[in-house]
Structure formats: structure tokens, C-alpha cells
Amino acid sequence: MFIELDGWMAKLRFSASHLIPDHPKCGRLHGHTYAVSVRVEGTQAGEFIIDFIELKDIVKDVCNRLDHRVLVAENDPRLKITEEQGHYTMEILKSCKHYVLPRDDVLLLPINSVSAEDLCKYFLNEISVGIRGNGPANNITGLHVRVDEGIGQGAGCNMDL
Ligand SMILES: [Zn+2]
């Protein structure tokens, strides 16, 4: 059995900027509205697998962290990121482009790129931590997450819990 949240319908969304270094189109800084959909598999503990409100709060917290930020993948080998006087300089090594951005506008993420795939893995990990952090949930056996980059395209991944 599972329960599901549709990111678009349940308003689990955020808007953010990113770029994919060296990509002919996506290499320029641009933005998307993203939606995060979640499926939790398990058995009912009492009436619920997990309370919808509890799960929504976990997902919303992660969305809020990324909302209206410039997302930067700090493990991307194609970038050199330096911080100085309240600003980040992001250098795209191959094309010698530089972006200088206020630190508060940027969120550095511990991922390899700001693709839908890598964002999905990030959300999967963060949501699993949130579910475990709310106490033992031995009835929950699996977690699926899909991150849509605009309507109609997205990346999904899953883990056993
Ligand atoms: Zn994009």
C-alpha cells in the first residue's frame, strides 16, 4: 500500500535558478518552477501509513530552503566556487565565464549538478531524513520522489526505508 502527494496539486513547489555548465542552452543562468511529488510505501500504523500533514511539512521545508535561490552544485568539477566579502564567484572552468552573486541569493547544494536527476537524489535523501527524524516508523518500507522541472518533465528515484 502507498500514499502519494502530487507536487503540483499539493503545492509542493519552488522556483529557482540554475545552469548546467557547458550545455549549449542550459549553460546560461535561467529559472524553473519545480514540483516535488512523493510516494510513501508501507502498512498502516493505526489509520495512516504517514499523516499527509506530517509528510507535506517535511517536503515543504526542503522546498522552502531552495525557493527563490540560485542553486549551485558545490561538487560539480566543472565549476570553481570561491567566497569573498559576502559574494560567491562561480567560475565555469571550460568557458571561462564568471558569475558573481550575493551569498544570500545562493544555495550551495552537496550534489554533482543541478539537474532534475541530482535534485531528485537530494530531495530523496532529505525527505528520508525528515521521515526518520519524526521517530521510529517501522511500518514505512519505501520512498519514491519525483522532481519535475516544469510541467511534463521530471526525474524520479526511490529507496527502501
Ligand atoms: Zn534548467
Query: 38 C-alpha vs ligand 1 centroid, how far in Å?
Result: 21
Closest to 42 (Cα-Cα) out of 138, 144, 123, 157: 138
* pLDDT by 10-residue block (mean), the chain, 161 residues: 98 98 95 98 94 97 98 97 96 94 98 98 97 82 97 96 90
What span, in angstroms and rounded, lies between the C-alpha atoms of 159 and 83?
35
Residues with active-site annotation? 26, 68, 149
Query: 18 C-alpha vs ligand 1 centroid, how far in Å?
Result: 6
> pTM of this prediction?
0.95
What pLDDT does 113 receive? 97
Instruction: Map out the domains of the chain as residue ranges.
Output: 2-69+110-160
What pLDDT does 44 receive? 94
What pLDDT does 81 receive? 97
What pLDDT does 122 receive? 98
The CATH class given to the 2-69+110-160 domain equals alpha beta
Angular region, 22: left φ>0, alpha ψ -120 to 50, beta rest: left
Query: 80 C-alpha vs ligand 1 centroid, how far in Å?
Result: 20
Query: 149 C-alpha vs ligand 1 centroid, how far in Å?
Result: 7
Query: 29 C-alpha vs ligand 1 centroid, how far in Å?
Result: 8
What pLDDT does 152 receive? 94
**Strands 69-73 and 106-109: what pairing?**
parallel
